[in-house]
Structure 1
Amino acid sequence: MDPRQEADCRATSSTAPGDDDDDGPKIIIHPGISDKEKKSVDNRQKRILGMLQKLDIKTSKAPVVAVLGSGGGLRAAIACQGVLGELNHVGILDLTTYLAGVSGSTWCMSSLYVRKNWQDHLAEAEEELKVRLQEGSWNPGTALKGIQEAARRSENFSLTDIWQYTLVYYMTKELLGSSLSEVRTRSEEGEVPYPIFAAIDNSLLSEWNEKKSLETWFEFTPHVAGYPLPGAYVRTTHFGSKFNGGKLIKKEKEKDFAYLRALWGSALADKETTQRTIQQFIWSFLSQQDIKKVSMSATYECSDEHDAESYMLSLKEKLSSLEDEHEDRSEQSFSLREMYGSFSFGMLPVLQSLFTWTWGSTNNFLYQHEGLKDKPLDGMESKEKLHLMDAGLAINSPYPLVLPPVRNTQLILSFDFSEGDPFETIKTTAEYCSAHGIPFPELDVAKLNQEAEAPSDFYIFEGKEGPVVMHFPLFNKVNCGSRENISNMAKTYKTFQLGNYSQEDVHQLLELSKANVKNNKEKIMEKIRALAKEAPPAEK
């Protein structure tokens, strides 16, 4: 081992969140949030307090407002862009402390947070989005190169790597090379809302299904990544590195946003739909693309046995023969296992991950850690690998990450871009809170069920304790009109959008999402004013 790495290992220890002043590979086993997040939030609150004073709102303490974006694939990514743009336009984004997302909303968030001063350039980001989502922005050679390189270099290769370079890249037309830790400075200075990206531990999904337990959830912030319950984190810069007993064994390169947004958005539907879609996409990608164009645009280094063009031409011939053999079979019955023997060595890890249905494989930073005894994650130390997935498999909105008392959230602006029931996220959250004694507003579930097919654009839920929740369904009777139009919008903007939206389609979806903010901005500001006045009066 490199002596410098040995020194790092000796310096590594489990520490409280406050002991994170350097960027060493420390693991944090402690409830609460890191001191760096506290610093970020404090600086953000000072900025918000200044904005409230400019609005002639007298208060000594700014209320903590969290904006939540749900999942929903490309539909959610576009709609989230529209919501943030309009929140910024009407001045509410300046009053927001936290911005948290699941799945498709994290695609939008990550695309914005890599920009400097992104809050000042949201209009430009919208125009760029309209252009980027057109067909010419997708490069199959880049996708092929990425998959093969990931398969060669990563001992934790999984479907998430395939998802990164196929579906996520294909839909967003974007591969972000920046990393989450690069967002730290702007977060710490309070320039932007503090971001929280949601995932879940797939091995603990049964715990969620049975007990609605927070331990299933895994969060990413610019400073740490880990389990909010019981409070077990690793520095974001060291997520994916290999640890043993709390000591760094092998430092891995920090995961970039391209990989993380595939991890956060790795299950846009149920397993059967996702599996079928991946199979169809890869079949189409490998057997129907212009192979000459693909092979010439790929810039990867080939092995001695194959050059790019001969490799792809050979693969094309074998896929074509298989296509003829199976042309009479339905798409659902087609099995990639039958293609296994026909692929070259470089594609074997791809098919292996498909057959085993392995997602989000990464080194477990808690492996052999002794600090988990008598804690909710007791037993996690025996696992060498973690398998992280889309949090939408639990709740398609990151409520559990902003509800803990340590974040002191007073107002939640929940923008729901889900497919299907527009109230499913808030109903599941209410069940979760009820199971664990967490203050949350009571819901009239029967009424919400009646309105699900034609919801309003705004709902407010309040209780004696806990946060006020404002809920905004994407397609509603205010911005869409009739129930028929709502249904048509849902069909137009599917979660699995494998075609290309026109610029007009993107513009329409942006405007629909903006309308939900524009039409309710006074109601939001009214509640922010009320919460601000509940704080002790400002000292003269």
Structure 2
Amino acid sequence: MKGLPPVPTRACPGTALPLAVTMTMKGAARESQMKFCPIHMLSVRIIQAKNIKSRDLLSASDCYVRLWLPSASNGKLRTKTIKNSDNPIWNETFYFRIQRDVENVLELAVCDEDPLTKDDMQFTVLFNVARIRPGETLREMFALKSERERCTKKWESLEVEFWMERIPGPPEHLITNDVLVSREVCCLKVQVDINESRKYLREGVNLVLTVPASHEGTQKTTEDRDTFYFHCVKAWEPVLKVRLQKVSDKEDVNSNLSDTLTVPMKFLPVGHTVKVTLPVRRNVPLQLYLQLDDCTEKLDVRLGYDLCREEQEFLHKRRRVVASALKRVLHLERDLHGHEVPVIAVMATGGGLRAMSAMYGHLLALQKLNLLDCVTYLTGASGSTWTLADLYEHADWSQKTLEGPLKAVKEQVTKCKLNLMSIDHLKYYHKELAERAKAGHVSSFTTLWSLVQEMFLHERPRKYKLTDQRKALEYGQNPLPFYAVLNVKEEKFGTFKFREWTNFSPYEVAIPKYGASIPSEYFDSEFFMGRRVKKLPESRICYLEGLWTNIFTRNLLDGLYWSSNSNEFWERWAKDMVDIEKHSPEDDVTVIEPPSCLSGKLYEMFQDIMTKRPLLGKSHNFLRGLEFHKDYSHQKKFIEWKDTVLDSFPNSLTPLQKYLCLIDVGYFINTSGAALFKPERNVDVIISLDYGLGNVFKQLEMTYKYCKIQKIPFPKVELSKEEEKNPKECYVFLDAEDPRAPIVIHFPLVNDTFKEFKEPGVKRCVSEMEEGKVNLENNCSPYYLIRLIYSSENFDKLVNLSQYNILNNKDLLLQAIRSAVERRRSSRTGNLPSHSGAGYH
């Protein structure tokens, strides 16, 4: 905060604390650690700027500097404005209380004030505070050395002086997984007399309570609310401000009916109630009761890259089921030992009703081959998540024939849907949306889409929730399902510039890049600094399905990608990843130049049009408030998932966002495999089910390229032109040189021998040839993505084709699984088998 004097450097008598003490949390050595680290005071003196190029036509610039250090404050500070000067001098000093164990990147923006339009930004400096040593003064000249000034050397520049010193006193308690950091949080409870507040409300007056540094920010009284909570970072020394204000004049400061009561929270005794009085002009003073508490309970966000305890327990149970099934299927002479049991996963792409229907056929075939009990993980994206969500409503679904569920799905897929927008349905949608908004959920178009989709697939509301699927995992009786989505930016960035894999399971919701996850029932609640600060009831699964299959979130930039040569975009993304490593605020100063003067506002307008996602679904961000460890970008686990241009810029990453913006994975790579690439799951075999039309290898090839760039073990995917032109039913890819790479068995959606065979080895007679004609052409197929109703005949053809392709390649499946068992056995002795590749591609 501005105006705070420097802290004395002399330590308190008797204080002999180390600069940083680390304690490993019991039972979580590989997950997170507790650290005790001192707090420091950072002084930033904005001295002057030179050679500022005016963006005004008739006068020099009206400059000010905006300061933003999100690791020390959630607000932005600014200097005064110097009018009509290309060489403004400020000499203003700002102070920040910082924690040196977190990544502190100070953003300094030189701006030209414009009273009529949005202020122009001249240039921005990103400065890593780690360059400043305690007790030393550092003066920096930040210069924008653009091409236009290279000849004259009249560079636009900003001169700043930094100083830092340790603050005497007890150290701060941090919890970290070496990527994210949770800091000490305090909670202020404010209680008012509800009768008094109602009296003021009837007179058109609000009680306005504000803690600028808190998660909640500003809150106001309502008819049925008399208690308010504010959660803050304790080290920021937050302040409570209270005033009475006319409801009709929200922005008019002069409408206040009281002076502002200011209470520094550092002076409140922890755990005790304190009464304070708000003087009211020409009226009786208003009494408020304050209680400050330290949030010492354990985090609600799990910081760690290990598998959660529930998944580990499931794997222990499922391993016994898989071992028994493999012994029967492979005709083994003895039982498999625990380390010999391979992890087999089914990885399905999206594809709307086509994916949902065809996946039933694939799973039914695996069940008939007794291979479904050999599978440990099932992953779905977009349309294939509908299949998983339906199946896991039943605790023993894989132990019963899938003929029954398949019949029910057929009935829905072939039924007319014209009543989805009837008056009765519209009333139901409106009522549901209103109730969710009242409960505190974020409302968006996706919420409506979720309800319409539920009626489309089931014709009735379901109370079923994601955590109800835990019953289907209780004894390891079914594979563990994962639902894949992407977290993106609402605007300013297309999916190729920024997106993060996000996985849902009955146990957890996780963003693997950060090593952060929450219990699934906590999703949609509000979080701050790893703690659940507002508890909302768990959403019905239809609202999650709306996020997993949200087809309305594409922006124009994403559309441009899909209408162009994807290879060019892929190469550009790979180049961005290389370039961004050269320009990072971690080790040096990054100076960002805005667009040219003439095109600035036009460019911003064009960027908004291209990147805005108008129908995006939002959810409360469970990472909100968490900060980054000072060495986060060098951690191996983070690097495994570091794949966007923003990953080296912590101020732009998800923990600073209020909401998660979740979209269909198909806007990047149509794969659900992110959960399977996590090395802790140690997947041996992936049965890849691709539901794409047209280029049936495109998504798998993109997955391979992605894994190659990210150094994720994955077999090479290369096909001849003939194979691409005339694809077969099944391909097996493996990497004989890397035992970490899974064996991938790929089933594209193709109609090959099914044309002539109704069952493996059973030819069709003349009257049955029509049943083998399945139109999978991209543009004229009855299974095209936007088709919402299938004929009974077309549904049967698609399901029968999918089932046949699995059954007809039983030998390849068994050969791949047998190889995985051998690899497991050999890895125990250190002698890995060599694969001849016979029958493999």
TM-score clears 0.5: yes
Give yes or no for contact 1:147–1:161 (8 Å, CA) kept in 2: no
Q: Is the Cα contact below 8 Å between 2:315 and 2:476 reproduced in 1?
A: yes
Query: Could you say which residue in structure 2 is the equivalent of 1:310?
Result: none
Matching residue's letter, 1:209: F
Give 1:470's aligned residue: 745
Query: In the alignment, what sits opposite 1:144?
Result: 426
Indicate yes or no: 2:535 matched with 1:255.
Answer: no
Residues 35-50 of structure 1 aligned to structure 2 (within 5 Å): 35-50=309-324
1:13 pairs with 2:284: no
Contact 2:527 2:533 survives alignment (8 Å): yes
Mapping of 1:98-497 within 5 angstroms? Answer: 98-119=377-398, 120-135=400-415, 139-141=420-422, 143-152=425-434, 153-154=436-437, 155-167=441-453, 169-170=455-456, 173=459, 175-203=461-489, 209-210=496-497, 216-267=500-551, 271=555, 357-370=614-627, 374=632, 378=650, 379-445=653-719, 447=720, 450-463=722-735, 464-465=737-738, 466-480=741-755, 485-487=775-777, 491-497=781-787
Q: Would the alpha carbon gap of residues 484 and 49 (structure 1) be closer, same or farther in structure 2, given more than 3 Å must change?
A: closer
Q: Give the conservation status (yes or no) of the 8 Å contact 2:558–2:667.
A: no
Task: Give the counterpart letter for 1:147 in structure 2.
Answer: Y
Native 8 Å contact 1:133 1:501 kept in 2 = yes
Superposition deviation, residue 471 in structure 1: 0.7
In 2, are the aligned partners of 1:37 and 1:188 still within 8 Å (CA)? no
Identity of aligned residues (%): 27
Which of 530, 536, 539 aligns to 2:825? It is 536
- Aligned partner of 1:351 in structure 2 is none
Distance 1:172 1:431, change over 3 A: farther
1:102–1:198 CA contact under 8 A, matched in 2: yes
Change (3 A) 1:394 1:469: same
- How far apart in 2 are the matches of 1:263 and 1:139? 19
The separation in 2 between residues aligned to 1:12 and 1:453, in whole angstroms, is 60
Partners of 2:681 and 2:787 lie apart in 1 by 35
Unpaired stretches in structure 1, ≥5 consecutive residues: 15-25, 276-354
| Greater share of residues in strand | 2
Say yes or no: does 1:96 pair with 2:368: no
**What residue identity is the alignment partner of 2:496?**
N
1:83 match: 362
Letter paired with 1:144: L
Taking a change above 3 Å as real, the CA distance of residues 398 and 12 of structure 1, as seen in their structure-2 partners, is farther
State the Cα distance separating 1:519 from its structure 2 match: 0.6
Counterpart Cα distance in 2 of 1:485 and 1:248: 50
> Secondary structure in 1 aligned to 2:686?
strand
- The aligned length equals 443
Letter in 1 for 2:786: F
- Per the normalisation by structure 2, the TM-score is 0.49
Secondary structure (helix, strand or coil) at the match of 1:381 reads helix
Instruction: Give the deviation of 1:209 after TM superposition.
Output: 2.1
Deviation at 1:272, TM superposition (A): 6.6
* Residues 451 and 143 (structure 1), Cα distance of their counterparts in 2 relative to 1, 3 Å cut: farther
Tell me: CA distance 1:174–1:110, structure 2 relative to 1, closer, same or farther (3 Å). Answer: farther
Give the distance between the partners of 1:271 and 1:483, measured in 2 at CA: 37
Post-superposition CA distance 1:95-145 (Å, at most 9, x none): 001000110000111011011311114111011112222436765446423
Q: Distance in 1 between matches of 2:726 and 2:774?
A: 9
Q: Secondary structure at the match of 1:421?
A: coil
Looking at structure 2, the residues matched to 161 and 236 of structure 1 have their Cα atoms a distance apart, in angstroms, of 18
Amino acid at match of 2:626: H
Q: Check conservation: 1:267, 1:274, Cα contact below 8 A.
A: no
Unmatched segments (≥5 aa) in structure 2: 1-188, 190-226, 232-270, 272-292, 560-611, 639-646, 757-771, 829-841
**Whole-angstrom distance in 1 between the partners of 2:401 and 2:426:** 33
Q: Is the 8 A contact 1:71 1:103 kept in 2?
A: yes
- Cα displacement string for residues 426-460 of structure 1 (whole angstroms, at most 9, x for unaligned residues): 11111111111122111225x2x554453211111
* Alignment partners' CA distance in 2, 1:207 and 1:43: 42
Cα distance in 2 for partners of 1:399, 1:183 equals 20
Give the letter aligned to residue 43 of structure 1. Answer: K
Query: Is the Cα contact below 8 Å between 1:143 and 1:165 reproduced in 2?
Result: no
Return the TM-score normalized by structure 1.
0.74
Aligned counterparts of 1:267 and 1:159: Cα–Cα separation in 2? 11
CA gap 1:209/1:241 in 2 versus in 1, 3 angstroms: same
Task: Decide whether the 8 Å contact of 1:415 with 1:472 is kept in 2.
Answer: yes
Match of 1:17 in 2: none
Corresponding residue for 1:288? none
Q: CA offset at residue 366 of structure 1?
A: 1.1
Q: 1:133 to 1:41 in 2, by over 3 A?
A: same
Q: Give the residue type in structure 1 aligned to 2:753.
A: V
Counterpart CA distance in 2 for 1:406 and 1:148 is 44
Deviation at 1:85, TM superposition (A): 1.2
Q: Secondary structure at the match of 2:370?
A: coil
8 A contact 1:43–1:190 mirrored in 2:
yes
Evaluate the alpha carbon distance shift between residue 123 and residue 484 of structure 1 in structure 2; reply closer, same or farther with a 3 A threshold: closer
Per-residue deviation, 1:190: 0.7
Q: CA shift at 1:151, angstroms?
A: 3.6
Q: Which amino acid aligns with 1:85?
A: L
The one-letter code of the counterpart of 1:99 is L
- What is the alpha-carbon distance in structure 2 between the residues aligned to residue 193 and residue 68 of structure 1? 12
Q: Residues 190 and 171 of structure 1: is their aligned pair in 2 closer, same or farther, counting only changes over 3 Å? A: closer
**Which of structures 1 and 2 has the bigger CA Rg?**
2
Q: 785, 792, 796: which is aligned to 1:503?
A: 792
